[in-house]
């Protein structure tokens, strides 16, 4: 059924153990999907069937628990970084020297240094200053840049 445009239903654990980050980034990438908690005490089979039907028709189905988690998203503001800035940032923050980060990103050393300065300025503009390599590494972890396939 792969490639047929089939809908996908994702079963999530009870809301007490769900974190926003563990499901929403994947959910943003899915076109037709539903998040359903099959063990929720206030849900029964008709609700599950309704959710599956909604997804099959191209709609979304999100449980009240997940909607609550989405509304409580407390992640910090993320600056908009160019692909080149992200490439230099993730390489540098992973422990590479600036020379090695520039090489990985395919840019000159001076350009990489300029990208890092821009990145630091952008983080400061959203209220999350990053002055050191450790600060930058923390921003990469906070913003999950190493998991976004951007390295």
Give 105-142 pLDDT, tens digit per residue: 999 999 999 999 999 999 999 999 999 999 999 999 98
Same domain? For 30 and 66 the reply is yes
Average pLDDT, integer, range 75-100: 92
In a domain, 106, yes or no: yes
Tell me if 3 is assigned to some domain.
no
Within-domain flag for 25: yes
Which among 71, 92, 124 is the end of a domain?
Answer: 71
Assess whether pLDDT exceeds 50 at residue 81.
yes
**Please, what is the average pLDDT of the chain?**
74
CA angle 45, 8, 68 (to 5 degrees): 65
Domain of residue 96, CATH code: 1.10.10.10
Same-domain status, 64 and 98: no
DSSP string over the chain: -TTTT--EEEE---GGG--HHHHHHHHHH-SSEEEE-TT-TT--HHHHHHHHHHHHTT--EE-HHHHHHHHT--PPP-----HHHHHHHHHHHTT--HHHHHHHHT--HHHHHHHHHHHHHHHHHTT----SHHHHHHHHHHTTGGGTT--
User: Is 55 domain-assigned?
Assistant: yes
Enclosing domain of residue 121: 83-147
């Amino acid at each position: 059924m792969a490639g047929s445009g089939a809908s996908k239903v994702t079963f999530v654990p009870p809301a007490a153990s769900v974190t926003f980050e563990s499901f929403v980034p994947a959910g943003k990438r899915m076109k037709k999907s539903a998040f359903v908690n099959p063990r929720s005490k206030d849900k029964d089979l008709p609700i599950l069937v309704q959710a599956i039907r909604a997804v099959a028709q191209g709609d979304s189905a999100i449980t009240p628990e997940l909607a609550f988690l989405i509304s409580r998203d407390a992640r910090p503001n993320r600056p908009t970084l160019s692909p080149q800035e992200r490439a230099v940032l993730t390489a540098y923050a992973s422990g590479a020297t600036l020379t090695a980060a520039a090489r990985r990103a395919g840019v000159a050393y001076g350009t990489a240094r300029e990208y890092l300065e821009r990145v630091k300025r952008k983080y400061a503009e959203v209220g999350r200053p990053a002055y050191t390599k450790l600060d930058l590494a923390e921003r990469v972890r906070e913003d999950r840049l190493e998991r976004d396939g951007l390295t």
